[in-house]
Every structure is written in C-alpha cells, then in structure tokens.
Chain A
C-alpha cells in the first residue's frame, strides 16, 4: 500500500533552517510528483510547491520563493523540503503528499510539526 512517512517534530530558533524528510513506499517513487503543504494551528491548507522525483524539477509558490528548496534521493525513495530564515509564522504542520494526474494529491504523509520559537 502507498505510504508516505515523514520525519519527526522539530523545534527551531528564528533565523534557522529546517529540513523535513518524506519516505515513500508502495509505489514507484519516480513516477509521481511530491507536493508540500503546510497548515498552521487552526488554519487552512497552504500549498508550498512540488517536485518531480524523476527529473528533480521543482515549482514553488511565490510566497516561498527564495526560502524553500525541495530535493530528493531516489536511491532511498525520499523527498526533502528545506525551509530557511524561519520566523514564528512558519510554525505549522508540514505535509508531503503524492501528486495524482490532473493535480490532485491522493496520498498524504502523517505531517511534521515544526515549531519556531526563541
């Protein structure tokens, strides 16, 4: 069965960076895009960007351009999302999710809580 398993919770200081991992199993990792979506407590879903694990091509939401980097290691079927220059407003649960044809996302990781606090 398709599974996306994310790394554990992180606590970071303002100005630092965080790197979240997302290990895929149950399907061919290079055949589907990986999207990253975040959700602050009590708030809605915010799309951050996508990555094609086969080519490494990426597309980022304008809000995160220059601060986010999405990469992958195909040998271990793992995607990564790194967010830099963290501020308190970046405190949220970060999800990876598999992209389906047409742009929907059909499988989601369990989420990783990133807390930014001094």
Chain B
C-alpha cells in the first residue's frame, strides 16, 4: 500500500496568515492527490482534486501544487472559517489518507 505523510501534524496561525501544508507519498502517485477540510463533528469537504484543481464553490485562497511524491496545500490568507483539520488522499492505487494537519488559532 502507498503510505501518506503530512507535515506539520498541527500548526497555530493567525487570521490573514499564509499557511502551507505538505503531503508526501511513499511512491510516485502522479497527480492523483486530493485535499479535504474537516471541521469537528462534520463530514470532510473536498477542496482540491488532481493535485491542483479547485473544487467548485471552494474559495480561491485555497490552492494545491505538486506531482510525483511531494504536494502542498496553501491557504493564501487564513480566514476564521478555515480553522479545521486538513487531510490529503491519494487515489493512484486504491485509496489512502494522510494522518491530517490540524490548523488552530494562535
């Protein structure tokens, strides 16, 4: 199975900050990488698919990049509603999720 890692596991940031989360796959997954946001008690929400495509309805402050084994999710200017946990997911070979990155208020 393909293993996914994320860094950092958690971060504290302020409204307006630029935030970057990294996801790494144990082998090349081309661009089969998706990002989700999850708030407590809620189902995850798809933000980015195919590494860099913005899901419909998702604010443009979210962006994704990368291919192969290394990927990033960037929030250009953190908003109050963005405090949540973020997961990457590979869909190259079956499916595996990363362990998550919790973004909380500094």
Q: Give how many B residues have a beta carbon under 8 Å from the other chain's beta carbons.
A: 23
Within 8 A of B (CB), among A32-55: 35, 37, 44-47, 50
Q: How far is the CB of A32 from chain B (nearest CB, A)?
A: 13
Q: Given A103-B91, A104-B91, do A47 and B97 touch, yes or no (CB 8 Å)?
A: yes
Binding site for A on B (CB under 8 A): 1, 32, 34, 36, 38, 43-46, 49-50, 55, 87, 89, 91-92, 94-100
Chain A residue, CB-CB nearest to B50 = A102
- Kindly name the residue among A37, A100, A104, A109 whose own CB sees the greatest number of chain B CB atoms within 10 A: A104
Which residue of chain A has its CB nearest to the CB of B100? A44
CB distance from A40 to the nearest CB of B (A): 13
Given A45-B100, A47-B96, output 8 extra A-B contacts at Cβ < 8 Å. A47-B89, A47-B94, A102-B49, A102-B91, A103-B34, A104-B34, A106-B46, A106-B55
Contacting residues, chain A, for B44 (C-beta < 8 A): 45, 95, 105, 108
For B100, list chain A residues within 8 Å (CB): 44-45
Any chain B CB within 8 A of the CB of A61? yes
Number of A-B contacts (CB under 8 A): 61
Instruction: Say whether A62 faces chain B, with CB atoms less than 8 Å apart.
Output: yes
Residues of A whose CB lies within 8 Å of any CB of B are 35, 37, 44-47, 50, 59, 61-62, 95, 97, 100, 102-106, 108-111
